[in-house]
Amino acid sequence: MEVIVAEDISKKYIIDHQKKARKNFTLRDTFSEKFKHFFGKGEEDEVEHEEFWALRDVNFSVNQGDRVGIIGHNGAGKSTLLKILSKITEPTNGRVTIKGRVASLLEVGTGFHPELTGRENIFLNGAILGMKRHEIKAAFDSIVDFAGVDKFLDTPVKRYSSGMYVRLGFAISAHLSPEILIIDEVLAVGDADFQKKCLGKMRDVSESGRTILFVSHNLAAVQSLCNRAFYFEHGRLKLQGDTTHVVNNYLSHVAKTTLEHTWETPEEGPGTDEVRFRSIRVKPAYASGKLYIDVTTPIKVHIEFWNMAERADLNLSLHLYAFTGECIFNVGTTSQSFDKGLVSATLDIPGNFLNDGSYVISVMVVKDTSTVLYQLAEAVSFEVEDHREGVTWYGKWPGYVRPQFNFQISQSEVLV
Amino acid sequence: MAHSEEVIIEAGHGAKNYWRDLWKNRELLLILSRRDLSVRYKQTVVGAGWAVIRPFATMLVMVFVFDKVAKFKGDEGIPYPLMVLAGITIWNFFSTTFTQISHSILLNSNLVTKTYFPRLIMPLSSVVVGFVDFIISIVLYVLIAIWYKHFPSWQLLLFPAFVLLTLAASLAFGLFFAVMNVRFRDIAQLIPFIVQIGFYACPIAYSSSMVESNQGAWWYDLYYLNPMVSIIDGFKWCLLGDGAFFKVSSLYSTIGFTVAVLGISIYYFRKEENSFVDYI
């Protein structure tokens, strides 16, 4: 059954540019402008206001029980969509039909008043989120328990730590019982423990057959939680469908990667009189259906160069850098004697080795294991996306590498 | 799963079930009122005592300036301090609610940008603070009236009507300013100024009978154009009895004027409230 149907919704904002920016800013400006217009001295032609479509002709429908992940760049229209669905702002055109009670979590602890106690804020926030008083009363103990703030119930929330504040805010919203839940990037706040609780709760909600719309930049969480995804770009709904398919498409568009460089002739290739590079290529062995590199993807790096000298003892050295500049590793080939001509090399980086992040590769040709003939700095770059299985935690996995070493666990003794 | 409601969101659709939504959200109205009330005197030593100290101190100063120094003529048979206090009480009620209403949208901007409910709830809930101060001030008045042994007569029955009229007036002007305040922060500067001027332009520390002797002066009609003049005169008359000067005829135009402005303000508020989030 369709619970949300959006037909051609658009939202227009007027952006005032420099000239206009000052105008209408104070009452005096408005009056003086009106006055000028009255006497025909208006500057209408010089006023620049640009229309900006935060959303443009968006159509979709959501079925009951769907968990929809909404992804896209900042400014793609995701938040505007949530605001329209939450009735905070009206669409300029189009209509949305929603069946069922909606709760929107655009912020944790909306309307908390710093001077009020935890207890008072539970009732305040609950009422703001649309809970009835008896519902809040019924859930009260459970909320306090979930947030773990029972000792501080009668303390003004301005004295709470930011962690307590967020926990209390989330605990209240977790006890809402809407048919449709709209969530904006809640995972961006709080510590790992909180995120885990948060996602666990969302899973509970979805398993009870309710509908969730979830905006997030955390693609691993979207992939794990959602069965459908919407990909927004420049205010338009670019793609919708199965989560893996949409995330694939999104990542293949956003990854700022240069997976290969090739130079046709030795004259074009970078290098010296002795060696010139012909190509460097990163070849991921994608799992079936995937179009992007994630932490499980094995990668091959192919390198080719021309040896211009008659005979030389050469070896290749490859540096892999994290985006932040730290060198993750440096590997070298053995040194060998080569004739004039093309030399090629291949490096295997296994899957389940690199952590998620952006990486840059530099290669250098070394002569007689001591002299650097040429270094090709920042030759290629690629991004490794996150991938999780069998976990309920989606925080940033620490470390530069994420190897799967043999790590055994067993019960060695049973206490009776 | 039972689907309790079907909501349609489109441009200009919000109007349809507005008043029903407002009624549905009455619990929110109450809880926001309670919030404003309990926050009002947090971290003060005297607490709600301020609601007594302020009118009392103002009364003393006004009596000193207008009665003792300037020797203004009060109404026959009415203690000057009591007349001033009645005026201050109703004026403070008006000015506090008017100010609170005007600021209500801005003060709740975090709610405007993050949740939906009929926006009228914000100005309506902000009224309670002024109302509680008013009740406390009335208690002070009663004590002082007993001290002067000056008791009200049948006019007291009209007390609720005058309170309602004052409320209507503060909503009429407050709602309009609340909307303007979202776009033009000038309003925040203007409001204290209006309240300050109003204190002297209205018959609070003096009696309208002194104005009456200036019939024919160019500013005479201007004086009565101010709707608060007849409301304050009426309120004083209602508490102080027949001896207090009250030109009943001036009340009719005031009622008409207030109702008209209230209607326009609500219309304006309703028209603009959906765009608050875009301008705040």
Phi/psi at B100 (5° precision) = -60, -45
Q: Considering CB atoms only, which of B114, B116, B183 is closest to A107? A: B114
Q: What is the pTM of this model?
A: 0.73
CA distance A146 to A167: 8
pLDDT of residue B14: 63
pLDDT in tens, A105-142: 887 778 888 889 999 999 999 888 888 889 899 999 99
Report the domain count for chain B.
Answer: 1
pLDDT of residue A49: 73
Nearest CA in chain A to B185: A26
Inter-residue contact A166 to A108 (CB < 8 Å): yes
Least confident interval from A215-224, A368-377, B70-79, B211-220: A215-224
pLDDT of residue B169: 95
pLDDT in tens, A264-291: 888 888 888 889 999 999 999 988 777 7
B112 - beta bridge partners?
none
Nearest CA in chain B to A86: B116
B215 near A CB under 8 A: no
A346 - beta bridge partners?
A302
Contact A95 B115 (CB under 8 A): no
A129 near B CB under 8 A: yes
Structure tokens at A143: 């909320």
Contact B185 A26 (CB under 8 A): yes
CA distance B246 to B256: 18
pLDDT in tens, A329-348: 999 999 999 999 999 999 99
Q: Which helix (H) or strand (E) holds A17?
A: none
Instruction: Name the one residue in this structure whose structure tokens are 């710093």.
Output: A114
> What percentage of chain A reaches a pLDDT higher than 70?
89
> Residue A21 above 50 pLDDT?
no
Question: Residue B166 sits in which domain range?
Answer: 18-279
| A/B interface, count of CB pairs below 8 Å | 119
Structure tokens at A64: 């009951």
- pLDDT class for A20, splitting at 50, 70, 90? very low
* A contact test, residue of B4, B16, B34, B35 with most A CBs within 10 A: B35
> Residue A384 above 50 pLDDT?
yes
Inter-residue contact A48 to A17 (CB < 8 Å): yes
pLDDT of residue A383: 86
A87 near B CB under 8 A: yes
Inter-residue contact A115 to A191 (CB < 8 Å): no
B189 near A CB under 8 A: no
B50 belongs to a structural domain: yes
A26 near B CB under 8 A: yes
Q: Which residues of chain B have pLDDT under 50?
A: 1-3
Mean pLDDT of all residues belonging to chain A:
84
CA distance B25 to B28: 5
Report which DSSP code applies to A381.
E
Fold of A2-12+53-253: Rossmann fold (3.40.50)
ipTM of the complex: 0.81
B91 belongs to a structural domain: yes
Fold of A260-384: Coagulation Factor XIII; Chain A, domain 1 (2.70.50)
pLDDT of residue B198: 94
Contact B9 A110 (CB under 8 A): no
Contact B110 A110 (CB under 8 A): yes
Contact A90 B13 (CB under 8 A): yes
Local structure of A320: helix, strand or coil: strand
Domain boundaries, chain A: 2-12+53-253, 260-384
CA distance A201 to B183: 40
Contact B110 A111 (CB under 8 A): yes
> Residue A23 above 50 pLDDT?
no
Give how far A395 is from chain B: nearest CA, Å. Answer: 25
